[in-house]
Amino acid sequence: MDFLSRYDLLGAFWVTVRLTVFSAIGSLVWGTVLAGMRVSPVPVMRAFGTAYVNLVRNTPLTLIILGTSLGLYSTLGLALADETSGTFLKDNNFRLAVLGFVAYTSTFVCESLRSGINTVPVGQAEAARALGLRFSQTLWIVVLPQAFRAVIAPLASVLIALTKNTTVASAIGVAEASLLMSEMIENEADKLFLIFLAIAAGFVVLTLPTGLFLGWVAKKVAVKR
Amino acid sequence: MTAAAAATPMIRMSGVDKFFGPLHVLKNIDLEVPKGQVVVVLGPSGSGKSTLCRTINRLEPIDKGTIEVDGQPLPAEGRALARLRAEVGMVFQQFNLFAHKTIVENVMLAPVRVRGVAKDEARRTAMELLERVGIANQADKYPAQLSGGQQQRAAIARALAMRPKVMLFDEPTSALDPEMVQEVLDVMTTLAAEGMTMLVVTHEMGFARKAADRVIFMADGEVVEDTTPEEFFAAPKSARARDFLGKILTH
């Protein structure tokens, strides 16, 4: 077992955690905006939301992540870090990966939220409009808070999927857990199953509590009708 | 108030038509409700009375005709419409209290978010209103913890918090258990006695007799009778009204 101490497992998982957290926050924000667009009374917004979700949701994640690096950076020259800095490649790839995860995961957040919006009775929005609230206020103050509470459990599944999806970032050289795993397998081919187990255990440690905690939160904040 | 302002009706509908697909739910409705009047709209289910009520603040858009509230034509969807709705209180059959907010938060919400009233002032006003409808002691509970009658009284307080010029009631007691109907009608009767302009869609004949200045009877999307409660209940002119009253008053 002590061969494990020759590798920076904690460091690699720390990158996984950071990828997950930043991507989750971004996906939550962008996914909420997308959901707002999809239920908006403005046809152009609805059309954009629908087109975006259907296009991105149905594209393989690997393609999107490679697209950020090969497309956005190598071809279009979009740099998300200071190019003169010594850690440019590392920072740029990390941020490009986050961008890709946000673009992708937000579509699932959007669709979860939209199903949550459907659980809010029509009368809630009617009462809000009848009181003089504008569309955006009705959405943000009355509908979305209730929709969010209804979809915490499905959002937990999205978050767990995202945590595991971060392994795709290894395709553009982000030093997260699975990239370290590849390196370990190359060096210690005889300990293959042990390495698998160690990495898998690391992911379970991250995702299991997330699921349990959010399941508890979902019960706690459920809207009683 | 000048003579002209007094003469401007609070609600004016002229030539209003509304379709749900092929169904003609409102047929060429002409209706004026002067300020301070309490109008009760009666009619069998499917007669279009709820739809009529909902067109006045444009929760249901109309297909033809014009609707004016206090001399101002109903604007299209947008900020102007939101401003107008703020002046028109509405009470729903299903109460529609915001399920994720406490009772007092429900009452404070629109004054704070729409009118920009300071929170502590809005809370004071909200508590006064809850006191008036007799549920101040329930202020910090959530809607689901209250009985139907209490919820509906809270919903009335929420509408009143915007100091509306007119109140629309869309079958306010139809979803209530029988023993809770009276407490809601009492609040409405008080409101009527205070001079609020009200349009009430209901099946409560007692309320119509006691509190209404005027009864409108609708059937098949048309206003069939428009008269005083005394005349309507004593001597309905149309066969349809007689038939309707016969069905509900015999037992």
Nearest residue of B to residue A124, measured between CA atoms:
B96
* Reported CATH class of domain A2-221: mainly alpha
* Nearest residue of A to residue B84, measured between CA atoms: A132
**How far off is chain B from A121, nearest CA to CA, in Å?**
9
Q: Which tokens go with B71?
A: 């001399």
Question: Chain A interface, mutation test: which of B87, B91, B112, B113, most A Cβ atoms within 10 Å?
Answer: B113
Write the pLDDT tens digit of every residue in A146-193. 999 999 999 999 999 999 999 999 999 999 999 999 999 999 888 899
* Alpha carbon distances (Å) from B173 to A57, B37, B43, B149, B156: 47, 20, 15, 8, 12
Contact (CB<8Å) B113/A129: no
Check CB contact under 8 Å for B159 and A131.
Answer: yes
CA distance B42 to B50: 10
Average of per-residue pLDDT across B160-167? 97
B58, B59, B63, B68 alpha-carbon torsion, rounded to 10°: -20
Name the 3-class secondary structure at A38: helix
Beta bridge partners of B38: B198
Please name the residue of chain A whose CA is at the shortest distance from the CA of residue B160. Answer: A131
Question: Which whole number is the average pLDDT over A16-35?
Answer: 97
Output phi, psi for B12, to 5 deg: -135, 120
| Predicted TM-score (pTM) of this structure | 0.86
Taking one residue from A and the other from B, the number of pairs with CB-CB distance under 8 angstroms is 71
| A127 with B109: Cβ contact below 8 A | no
Asked if A130 and B113 come within 8 Å (Cβ–Cβ), the reply is no
B-chain CB neighbours of A134 within 8 Å are: 79, 82
Q: How far apart are CA A35 and CA B125, in angstroms?
A: 35
The DSSP bridge partners found for residue B66 are: B14
Closest Cβ–Cβ partner in B59, B83, B97 for A130 = B59
What are the DSSP calls for chain B, one per residue?
--HHHHHS-SEEEEEEEEEETTEEEEEEEEEEE-TT-EEEEE--TTSSHHHHHHHTTTSS--SEEEEEETTEEPPPTTHHHHHHHHTEEEE-TT----TTS-HHHHHHHHHHHHH---HHHHHHHHHHHHHHTT-GGGTTS-GGGS-HHHHHHHHHHHHHTT--SEEEEESTTTTS-HHHHHHHHHHHHHHHHTT-EEEEE-S-HHHHHHH-SEEEEEETTEEEEEE-HHHHHH---SHHHHHHHHHHH--
The answer to whether the Cβ–Cβ distance between B100 and A149 falls below 8 Å is yes
Residues of B in contact with A146 (CB under 8 A): 99-100
Read off the pLDDT band of B147 (50, 70, 90). Answer: very high
Residues of chain A with C-beta less than 8 angstroms from the C-beta of B109:
131, 141
Using the beta-carbon criterion (under 8 Å), do A132 and B86 form an inter-chain contact?
yes
| B219 phi, psi to nearest 5 deg | -150, 135
What integer best gives the mean pLDDT of chain A? 93
- For the segment B171-186, the average pLDDT, to the nearest whole number, is 94
Smallest CA–CA distance, residue A132 to chain B, in Å, is 4
Q: Where are the domains of chain A?
A: 2-221
| Locus of tokens 């390196």 | A183
Across B36-51, b (16+ Cβ under 10 Å) vs e yields ebbbbbbbbeebbbbb
Mind telling me how many Å the CA of A34 is from chain B's nearest CA?
A: 21
Which chain B residues contact residue A121 at CB under 8 A?
94, 96
Whole-complex ipTM: 0.91
pLDDT score, position B135: 96
Burial of residue B79 (number of CB atoms within 10 Å: 0-12, 13-18, 19+): exposed
Q: Give the three-class secondary structure for B23.
A: strand
Q: How confident is the model at residue A2 (pLDDT cuts 50, 70, 90)?
A: confident
Decide if B76 touches A, using CB distance below 8 A.
Answer: no
pLDDT digits (tens, 9 = 90+) for A80-130: 888 888 888 889 999 999 999 999 999 999 999 999 999 999 999 999 999
